[in-house]
């Protein structure tokens, strides 16, 4: 299996499918998942002739369950090491949830010529945590509760978490147990410590400066019924901060809309990429 080794010895697993000369699309997954969460998009864009790449964040999936480095700056350094190793040029970077924050920071700092476009899908940027300057954010007690569950009850918590993640707790929702189990499988592949420490990375990191620094065409996509990363907290503000960003919101769509509504999301991603 393909890996790169970072400066601190962490092995980062990645998938790299398609012709080497094709335009690359790099997918960044959310917490606590893996590159497998992008299967529907990887297969779709591979069939469209793109080179598709996705990695397992450190501590997640098949990458090293490292004890350290579970902060956004290190996550981005790992992405930089991967894109340098593959020498990716004019890539489109697409990030979901925590991966959206990772994309924002990577794109803001990327070397000239590395990035062509960016997409933030149900992303945690600009910042999730409630504060005096962000009164509409999510209270710290919520994230402390997630920390407690990850430390003491991770397997059951992950299974339960899939209900709001995919909107399966809404009246009339068609619950797909295999989708829930696939989410659980990805989560349990990763390390409990990485997941515990990563909560601060996705909830407390302020991406405002990163969003302001993005200079490539950017699409912000967000479900209006996102129960995990609320649209009003992140989607709307992010689109206003990124210079010239496009905003596409989806009434009734949940946080996991790249899975539950892959046909719509894939078509909209393709239209943006080709625009």
Beta bridge mates, 24: 51
Burial of residue 1, with CB atoms counted within 10 A of its CB: 0-12 exposed, 13-18 middle, 19 or more buried: exposed
- Active site residues per annotation: 97, 226, 255
**Residue 38: DSSP 8-state:** G
What's the number of CA atoms in the CB half-sphere (13 Å) around residue 221?
27
**CB contact set of 100 (below 8 Å; sequence gap of 6+):** 28, 30, 120, 121, 122, 123, 124, 125
Contact between residue 32 and residue 158 where contact means Cβ atoms under 8 Å apart: yes
Kindly state the tokens that stand for 235.
């989607």
Kindly state the tokens that stand for 211.
């969003």
**CB contact set of 120 (below 8 Å; sequence gap of 6+):** 95, 100, 103, 104, 218, 219, 220, 221, 238, 242
Kindly state the tokens that stand for 199.
């909560």
Tokens 């919520």 found at:
142
**CB contact set of 48 (below 8 Å; sequence gap of 6+):** 270
Tokens 């940027």 found at:
125
């Amino acid at each position: 299996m393909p890996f790169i080794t970072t400066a601190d010895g962490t092995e980062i697993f990645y998938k790299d499918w398609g012709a080497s000369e094709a335009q690359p699309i790099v997918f960044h997954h959310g917490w606590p998942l893996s590159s497998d969460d992008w299967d529907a998009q990887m297969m779709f864009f591979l069939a469209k002739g793109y080179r598709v790449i996705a990695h397992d964040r450190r501590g997640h999936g098949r990458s090293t369950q490292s004890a350290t480095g579970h902060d956004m700056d290190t996550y981005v350094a790992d992405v930089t090491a991967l894109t340098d190793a593959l020498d990716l040029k004019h890539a489109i970077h697409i990030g979901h949830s925590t991966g959206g924050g990772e994309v924002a920071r990577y794109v803001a700092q990327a070397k000239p010529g590395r990035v062509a476009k960016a997409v933030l899908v149900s992303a945690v940027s600009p910042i999730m945590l409630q504060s005096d300057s962000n009164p509409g954010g999510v209270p710290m007690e919520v994230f402390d509760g997630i920390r407690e569950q990850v430390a003491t009850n991770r397997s059951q918590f992950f299974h339960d978490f899939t209900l709001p993640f995919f909107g399966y707790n809404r009246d009339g929702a068609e619950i797909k147990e295999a989708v829930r189990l696939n989410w659980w499988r990805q989560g349990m592949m990763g390390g409990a410590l990485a997941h515990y420490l990563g909560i601060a990375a996705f909830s407390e990191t302020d991406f405002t400066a990163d969003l302001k620094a993005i200079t490539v065409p950017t699409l912000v996509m967000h479900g209006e019924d996102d129960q995990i990363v609320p649209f009003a907290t992140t989607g709307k503000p992010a689109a206003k901060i990124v210079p010239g960003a496009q905003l596409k919101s989806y009434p009734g769509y949940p946080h996991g809309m790249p899975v539950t509504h892959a046909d719509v999301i894939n078509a909209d991603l393709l239209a943006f990429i080709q625009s």
